């Protein structure tokens, strides 16, 4: 029989047991967290407005949640009746003469419901009894008579400031950081730091000094440039002047007029020069043609001359290498050039 089948009862028992334990644990933890089985004591208070109130809003005593708002309604006198519950663990705080304060930010920064225990007696308030708010006449009287355990400075604004404090702390830290940076820059500018910033400032000083030495030379160059600019300006003025250079050249009694009215003497002279140049060019052209015609012969003559020179070179080498004189003629493989021109080769 299969192992599982034989012990099916045990497996099923374990299967159910673990599931039940997990379920039970989850229920217990949830019930504790949600106060399913805890005793809550109900009281009521009254406010002039429901602004800032919400069901489930925590009732706090010195930052500890001791209860919450259960419900609130508008009564016949246009006042807001608020039902609150106080947890059993804090019920001893709900003594006679206690006051409830609603702190609401006028600029929408939230609010809170604060509980101030009475100090007149230790008698715990009866359930469903009335706890005055700080806006009511009873509440004001209790607060004025100093019979309420209200820490110094803890009021509506203080409650709101509790919410704003983390933000202010952040701003404070930021300002501190900025101050630190400012001090560092100031110290670096004073040359008291060996940090990168100080080094940069030292380098900047050296660069400025070098720049100061260069400035006279730059001034001289600039003076030259100014002179050039002035000359250019004068030239431009001359060109723009209607009595300037160009009219002088074009004047009827000027140089051009003289050159143009010389009875074609200059023209004839130039024509003769051009004729001579043409004659020379024609001669050059005929010479070029002749040279073109005798180019193959010239090539052959040059080849033969080259061969004769090589032979002469050999003779001279033989003479220089003669055993009687030096060491004889060195042997050499013949490498005759077989083609007269490059076109005679077959590729």
* Footprint on this chain of another protein (rule: CB under 8 A): 4-5, 8-9, 11-12, 15-16, 18-19, 22-23, 26-27, 29-30, 33-34
Cα 311 to Cα 180: distance, rounded to the nearest angstrom: 98
Q: How far is the CB of 201 from another protein (least distance, A)?
A: 43
Q: At what angle do helices 156-189 and 196-240 cross, to 10 degrees?
A: 70
Cα 82 to Cα 69: distance, rounded to the nearest angstrom: 7
Q: How far is the CB of 129 from another protein (least distance, A)?
A: 30
Closer by beta carbon to another protein, 36 or else 267: 36
Q: How far is the CB of 164 from another protein (least distance, A)?
A: 20
Closer by beta carbon to another protein, 11 or else 267: 11
Cα 307 to Cα 313: distance, rounded to the nearest angstrom: 10
Q: How far is the CB of 31 from another protein (least distance, A)?
A: 9
Closer by beta carbon to another protein, 9 or else 297: 9
Q: How far is the CB of 58 from another protein (least distance, A)?
A: 14
Query: Can you list the alpha helix ranges (DSSP code H) found in the chain?
Result: 3-6, 8-33, 137-144, 156-189, 196-240, 245-250, 255-260, 265-321
Closer by beta carbon to another protein, 12 or else 245: 12
Burial class (CB in 10 A: 0-12, 13-18, 19+), 47: buried
- Whose tokens are 């033969």? That residue is 304
Q: How far is the CB of 35 from another protein (least distance, A)?
A: 12
Beta-carbon count within 10 A of 300 CB: 12
Q: What are the tokens at 57?
A: 């809003």
Closer by beta carbon to another protein, 5 or else 347: 5
Closer by beta carbon to another protein, 25 or else 173: 25
């Amino acid at each position: 029989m299969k192992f599982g089948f034989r012990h099916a009862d045990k497996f099923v028992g374990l299967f159910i047991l673990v599931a039940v334990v997990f379920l039970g644990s989850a229920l217990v933890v949830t019930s504790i967290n949600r106060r399913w089985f805890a005793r809550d004591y109900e009281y009521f208070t009254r406010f002039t407005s429901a602004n800032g109130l919400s069901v489930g809003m925590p009732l706090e005593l010195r930052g500890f949640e001791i209860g919450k708002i259960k419900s609130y309604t508008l009564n016949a006198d246009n006042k807001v009746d608020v039902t609150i519950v106080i947890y059993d663990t804090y019920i001893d705080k709900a003594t006679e003469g206690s006051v409830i304060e609603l702190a609401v930010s006028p600029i929408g920064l939230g609010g809170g419901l604060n509980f101030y225990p009475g100090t007149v007696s230790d008698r715990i308030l009866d359930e469903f009894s009335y706890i005055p708010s700080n806006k009511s006449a009873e509440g004001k009287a209790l607060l004025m008579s100093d019979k309420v355990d209200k820490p110094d400075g803890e009021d509506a604004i203080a409650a709101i400031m509790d919410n704003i404090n983390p933000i202010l702390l952040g701003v404070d830290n930021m300002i501190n950081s900025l101050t630190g940076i400012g001090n560092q820059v100031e110290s670096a500018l004073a040359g008291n730091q060996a940090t990168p910033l100080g080094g940069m400032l030292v380098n900047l000083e050296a660069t400025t000094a070098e720049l100061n030495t260069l400035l006279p030379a730059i001034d001289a160059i600039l003076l030259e440039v100014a002179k050039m600019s002035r000359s250019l300006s004068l030239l431009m003025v001359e060109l723009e002047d209607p009595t300037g250079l160009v009219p002088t050249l074009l004047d009827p009694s000027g140089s051009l007029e003289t050159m143009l009215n010389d009875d074609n003497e200059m023209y004839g002279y130039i024509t003769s020069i051009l004729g001579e140049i043409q004659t020379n060019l024609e001669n050059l052209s005929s010479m070029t043609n002749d040279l073109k015609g005798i180019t193959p012969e010239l090539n052959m003559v040059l080849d033969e001359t080259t061969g004769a020179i090589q032979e002469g070179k050999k003779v001279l080498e033989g003479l220089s290498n003669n055993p009687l004189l030096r060491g004889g003629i060195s042997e050499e493989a013949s490498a005759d050039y077989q083609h007269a021109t490059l076109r005679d080769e077959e590729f």
